Amino acid sequence: MAPSHGTASRGVSWPAAVDLFLDRWTADHPRLRPATLDHYREQLETRLAAFASERGIETVDQFTREHLCAFVTWLDEYQTRRGPISQRGKQMAMNSAKMLLRWAHQEGLLSQDIGRYVKGYRLDPLQAPRATRSDDLEILLSAFSPRTATGIRNAAMIQLMALCGLRVSEVCGLNAGDLNPREGRVTVRSEIGRCRRVRSVDLPSVIRDGRVMTRPEAAEALTAWLAVRARAFPHLEDNDPLFVTLEPGRTTAGTEGDQEGSIREAGQRMTVDAIRLMLRRAAERAGLDPKQVTPRRLRHHFGLSAAAAGVNQTALMEAMGHSSPLMTSRYAVVGDEERRRQFALADIAAGIRFPHPKCPPSPSRADLNDVLEEDGVSLSEIARKLFSRE
């Protein structure tokens, strides 16, 4: 972040410093998502600024190296409504604090960059990820009715998280054009990936009759959702969201003029909060512990399944979009036979039976070939041609 010493002065309060920091960061990085800014604002206001307020540190220039060391201890003891902060939460809080303090030094608010004296939290690379088991995944999918549009959509999203390893934010950010049915791949674009780059993820595949094909349950789930999307929202194109709301709903947070939130029309992009709520409710209906089927655990299910199946670590790192091989190495801890059994891909193929036979039928191979042979036809147009037939 480029400094601008002429605009800074000493004696800036913490709320003002947070606002100035985020404003400057937004100006330097215009493509930042609002959700990213909201995340850092929450981290800074509920962690660093709260710590400074408790210690009577009213302005940024009063913050010292000793205070930052005390902040590390404070994080270890800090309690939220849900309990202590996780190791990852401490890491994010410390990284956010160091970014603001580095900016404060560049702006002349601090005489030295005190953040460089304190190392950030590091995740244990040998800590095994916590994942949803195969049998729980089967039970979770059974909680969705394959005869309803909502059930078809939700099952398709879960397939992408649990069998392709997509983050929940990446599932929300997918557009219809990101699916490549010919190659059996989905493209995760840079603006929705945590690592800010484009990667291609293969849909789960299986070898049948000597050739590689997309795993039937995943192909059928996506095919069924494309059918619903094409019929319910014929105006949506390739550059429109792949997963959308099916009913009008109220947003969870309103503006100052609308304390109860605004009404979102059907056909809007799914949100991270909506998917988390969907999973929690589905787990409760299925008699599962909601903490065992979170979006993160579904993604970890893919990583452990791939590791148990012997997938190369480099290939797994690329598929999951990790920026460091240390993150991927955590999935290689699957060793004993019981854990291999829990997360083996063979168990997934044997257990999942979705969608129900009464779901919208998949197009025949002849129908699919006829449409795919046409040049310049978008995926949305393909869906309309395939599924508009009675």
3-class SS at 95? helix
Q: Residue 378 has what pLDDT?
A: 60
What is the Cβ-side half-sphere exposure of residue 46, based on CA atoms within 13 angstroms? 15
Q: What is the pLDDT along the chain (390 residues), one digit of tens a residue?
A: 544 444 444 578 899 999 999 998 888 887 777 888 888 888 898 888 889 988 899 889 889 888 888 888 788 788 887 778 877 788 888 888 888 988 998 888 888 888 777 766 555 545 567 888 888 888 898 888 888 889 989 999 998 898 888 999 899 989 988 887 677 788 887 554 444 578 888 877 655 555 555 666 777 788 888 888 988 898 988 889 999 998 876 554 443 444 445 566 888 899 999 999 999 999 999 999 999 899 999 998 888 888 777 777 778 888 888 876 767 777 775 544 445 555 544 333 333 333 333 334 444 445 545 544 555 556 566 556 555 543
Q: Residue 355 has what pLDDT?
A: 35
Q: What are the CA-CA distances from residue 138 to residues 142, 244, 267, 329 (Å)? A: 6, 24, 28, 27
Tell me how far the alpha carbon of residue 300 is from its chain's centroid.
12
267: left (phi over 0), alpha (psi -120 to 50) or beta: left
Q: Residue 187 has what pLDDT?
A: 86
For residue 202, what is the enclosing H or E element?
A: strand 199-202
Q: Residue 370 has what pLDDT?
A: 54
**E strands within 215-339?**
249-250, 263-264
Structural domains in the chain, CATH included, are: 9-117 (1.10.150.130), 134-250+271-387 (1.10.443.10)
Among the listed residues 137, 164, 194, 211, the one whose alpha carbon sits nearest the alpha carbon of residue 327? 194
Q: Please state the pTM of the whole predicted model.
A: 0.60
For residue 108, what is the enclosing H or E element?
A: none
Q: Residue 193 has what pLDDT?
A: 41
Crossing angle of the two packed helices 216-232 and 379-387, in degrees rounded to 10: 90
Q: Residue 157 has what pLDDT?
A: 93
Residue with tokens 């809007």, as numbered in its chain: 268
Fill in the amino acid letter for 99. Answer: M
Q: Residue 194 has what pLDDT?
A: 45
Query: CA-to-CA distance for 384 and 176, rounded, in angstroms?
Result: 13
**C-beta of residue 99 within 8 angstroms of C-beta of residue 113:** no
Q: DSSP of 243-290, one letter per residue?
A: SB-SS-EE-SS--TT-TT-PEEPTTPBP-HHHHHHHHHHHHHHHT--G
Query: CA-to-CA distance for 289 and 291, rounded, in angstroms?
Result: 5
3-class SS at 263? strand
Q: Residue 188 has what pLDDT?
A: 86
